[in-house]
Chains A and B, each alone.
Chain A
């Protein structure tokens, strides 16, 4: 049975879920745009972010929304270590080297998380003081956790825009993304820019992970599917385009939720990827992509 209120709820939930995809895809896109690096282990950073937020909430007693900051910081540090000690070592060599490093990292993160956090394969969820509290507008119900998560995504995105538009490092990032060699000749420290870019991308994944852990249950294996979705979103929105990742994430979240509501659970991923194919057939560069990017 399809009702207007049910459809409205599904759309709102799609937007909320899309927020998590936006953060993940934006981080991935940032790293790709500046460093031309395809990190297949980006979803594993989301998973680590979720576990960090869980630990800081349950053990340290921090509010789960405050733990987002801890998660962002911790995953940013991990990202910096990855860039410095893994990806930088193979920069300029065959692209396959980067790809295999990121594929290897998937297993290292997943098995490491199983070893440290989840020997029993239990699904866990970050306890939120807002759990079970809903805003009801007529027959439409939306949890406060979801509303707050949407607000947090918007705040983080505004912060990201300010960072890239109003700071020197942001300018350097944009310059490097356009012409890496010329930027270096102009005195920009490429290593520093790459390190910072990877840290920001990882921090966004950490925030996405913390929000994911508040809204959904998770385990060490959750990273794989969000990575694929994030790739689909950045292709949908246009490679290297942050507005594209935002619109793509929203479309993806709404598409998969309405597909489940209207057609059934089995269509969840199929419809979302069908949307991707349709967009690529009509506009091969994605919604916001430009030729040559």
Chain B
């Protein structure tokens, strides 16, 4: 009996010791103390705050950063602790080529940012990325439609944009769709959806090629869209004739003479390679002032609330190529993550609808979180390596293989995004009415089996080009 009591007492003591050990383990009392070097992560958000796109970038970054900070921050292994993110706004004002290098340099040298995220225009980013390249600061570029921002190291000798610093360029990442991506989608849509519709509705000979006019900004971006579209049509042997290539100066505020010239070429469709305000204005002037009752195609840069409001009722039945449907009209969101993002964004920012550059930025903040946690440090070289090895499920943008990963081959540090086509329809209720987008192409996307919401229709007062 006496023996049994001793055994019982011993068992109780062992249980108490084990319980105490488990409790201490649970309370993380065995973990090394947080390093005294631990500090907040300084995330430089490159945004031209005078522009609608820049404001969208800043808001999206703030949303993601606040979400991460609310969950405790980012685990940094070498400091044995979670650290929070400080948003360092790198205001590039209008994001023009001459406005970006100064703010980015100051963010690197004065504020010691750990990483840069953002950028909108190609011109602004090409100059803004130089200080990041020379100072070896990882930069996830979430704008810039030309992939020059990742390929300028391989440009031929003598090209003024060439930047021969392979090591520095390895810190550049491009998380954005490019003119190649969206011109491919537009060309395929014209060949697969618009041409058959024209042939059947106007009893055209099937051998007749679709007559396409391109109206483009006379800058690197616009000329890039013009050239790449032409190349895609030739390479893929698509049944499309480019009947007009008409440019406008980036400073232009009216496009009527250009549209008269396009009207004279009798196009079936007008592809506009412009920014939000100029594209909306060109479509309105084309329909209302010039009487060019065609099918206008805007590029994804215009996936912004401003475009919808500027275009208003005039834009009904016109086409918008897109990469994120922030104004999705289905009962359930095509990707739950997009729905959560849009609702949270609207709630946080007084009902504002997000644009498409902010979506890239939001994803980029989470790509950074994932990379830093894998790197276990804020050492810039190790963070660069971790971003390079990113392999996580797609988030707001649709990816070709449903995963976010940066290429490491000849097209260095780029992604494989997918874009789609929306048709805008004027919905008069509730008053005063609004344009709403409906996906018409393609039928499905990676990870979304049933994506198409409506069949493509020609505008009611549409006039085709010459037979």
Q: Which residue of B lies closest to A267 (CB)?
A: B249
> Measured between alpha carbons, how far is A222 from B314 in the docked complex, in Å?
24
> Measured between alpha carbons, how far is A146 from B264 in the docked complex, in Å?
20
Contacts of B255 in A (CB 8 A): 265
Binds A, one of B106-114, B283-291, B387-395, B398-406: B283-291
The one of A2, A146, A222, A260 that contacts B258, using a Cβ cutoff of 8 Å: A260
- List B237-258 residues whose CB lies under 8 Å from chain A: 244, 246-249, 251-258
Q: Which residue of B lies closest to A141 (CB)?
A: B291
A13 with B249: CB separation less than 8 A: no
The one of B257, B265, B281 that contacts A261, using a Cβ cutoff of 8 Å: B257
B218 with A265: CB separation less than 8 A: yes
Contacts of B244 in A (CB 8 A): 1
B277 with A217: CB separation less than 8 A: yes
Q: Which residue of A lies closest to B51 (CB)?
A: A121
- List A211-260 residues whose CB lies under 8 Å from chain B: 215-219, 222, 225, 257-258, 260
The one of B52, B260, B281, B291 that contacts A217, using a Cβ cutoff of 8 Å: B281
B153 to chain A, nearest CB (A): 30
The one of B246, B289, B291 that contacts A136, using a Cβ cutoff of 8 Å: B291
Contacts of B246 in A (CB 8 A): 264-265
Contacts of B264 in A (CB 8 A): 1-3, 5-6
Interface size of B as a range: 35 or more
A261 with B261: CB separation less than 8 A: yes
Q: Which residue of A lies closest to B281 (CB)?
A: A217
Contacts of A9 in B (CB 8 A): 260, 290
With A1-B244, A261-B260 in contact, do A121 and B253 touch (Cβ < 8 Å)? Answer: no
Interface centre among B52, B218, B255, B291, by most chain A C-beta atoms within 10 angstroms, is: B291
Contacts of B218 in A (CB 8 A): 264-266
- List A241-293 residues whose CB lies under 8 Å from chain B: 257-258, 260-261, 264-266, 268-269
- List A117-146 residues whose CB lies under 8 Å from chain B: 120-125, 131-132, 134, 136, 141, 143, 145-146
Count of A interface residues, CB-CB < 8 Å: 39
> Measured between alpha carbons, how far is A220 from B263 in the docked complex, in Å?
31
A132 with B253: CB separation less than 8 A: no
B288 with A13: CB separation less than 8 A: no
> Measured between alpha carbons, how far is A174 from B75 in the docked complex, in Å?
79
> Measured between alpha carbons, how far is A253 from B281 in the docked complex, in Å?
20
Interface string of A5-26 (1 = CB under 8 A from B): 1100110010001000000000
The one of A17, A216, A218, A265 that contacts B247, using a Cβ cutoff of 8 Å: A265
With A6-B264, A121-B52, A260-B257 in contact, do A266 and B289 touch (Cβ < 8 Å)? Answer: no
Q: Which residue of B lies closest to A266 (CB)?
A: B218
B260 with A122: CB separation less than 8 A: no
Is B309 an interface residue, CB under 8 A from the partner? yes
Is B50 an interface residue, CB under 8 A from the partner? yes
B261 with A6: CB separation less than 8 A: yes
B86 to chain A, nearest CB (A): 26
Is B316 an interface residue, CB under 8 A from the partner? no
Contacts of A217 in B (CB 8 A): 253-254, 277, 281, 284, 310
Contacts of B314 in A (CB 8 A): 132
Interface centre among A3, A145, A260, by most chain B C-beta atoms within 10 angstroms, is: A260
Contacts of A6 in B (CB 8 A): 260-261, 263-264
> Measured between alpha carbons, how far is A258 from B258 in the docked complex, in Å?
10
A146 to chain B, nearest CB (A): 8
B272 to chain A, nearest CB (A): 13
Contacts of A266 in B (CB 8 A): 218, 247, 249
- List B343-365 residues whose CB lies under 8 Å from chain A: none
B309 with A122: CB separation less than 8 A: yes
Q: Which residue of B lies closest to A4 (CB)?
A: B264
B284 to chain A, nearest CB (A): 8
A216 with B288: CB separation less than 8 A: no
- List A57-91 residues whose CB lies under 8 Å from chain B: none
- List A139-158 residues whose CB lies under 8 Å from chain B: 141, 143, 145-146
B249 with A216: CB separation less than 8 A: no
B257 with A216: CB separation less than 8 A: no
Is B306 an interface residue, CB under 8 A from the partner? yes
A131 with B288: CB separation less than 8 A: yes
Contacts of B265 in A (CB 8 A): 1
A13 with B257: CB separation less than 8 A: yes
> Measured between alpha carbons, how far is A222 from B254 in the docked complex, in Å?
12
Contacts of A131 in B (CB 8 A): 288
A141 with B254: CB separation less than 8 A: no
Interface string of A33-46 (1 = CB under 8 A from B): 00000000000000
> Measured between alpha carbons, how far is A136 from B306 in the docked complex, in Å?
32
Contacts of A136 in B (CB 8 A): 291
B310 with A132: CB separation less than 8 A: no
> Measured between alpha carbons, how far is A125 from B263 in the docked complex, in Å?
23
Contacts of B50 in A (CB 8 A): 121
Interface string of B106-132 (1 = CB under 8 A from A): 000000000000000000000000000
> Measured between alpha carbons, how far is A6 from B254 in the docked complex, in Å?
17
Q: Which residue of A lies closest to B55 (CB)?
A: A120
The 9 closest A-B pairs by CB, nearest first: A260-B257, A265-B248, A132-B288, A6-B264, A123-B277, A141-B291, A265-B247, A257-B257, A1-B264
A-B contact pairs, 21 of them (CB 8 A): A1-B244, A6-B263, A9-B260, A13-B257, A17-B254, A120-B306, A121-B52, A122-B52, A122-B277, A122-B306, A122-B309, A123-B253, A123-B310, A136-B291, A143-B288, A216-B254, A257-B256, A258-B257, A261-B260, A264-B247, A269-B249
Given contact pairs A141-B291, A265-B252, enumerate 8 new A-B contacts (beta carbons under 8 Å). Answer: A13-B256, A132-B314, A216-B254, A219-B277, A260-B257, A261-B258, A261-B261, A268-B252
Q: Which residues of B contact A (CB under 8 A)?
A: 50-52, 55, 218, 244, 246-249, 251-258, 260-261, 263-265, 277, 280-281, 284, 287-291, 306, 309-310, 314
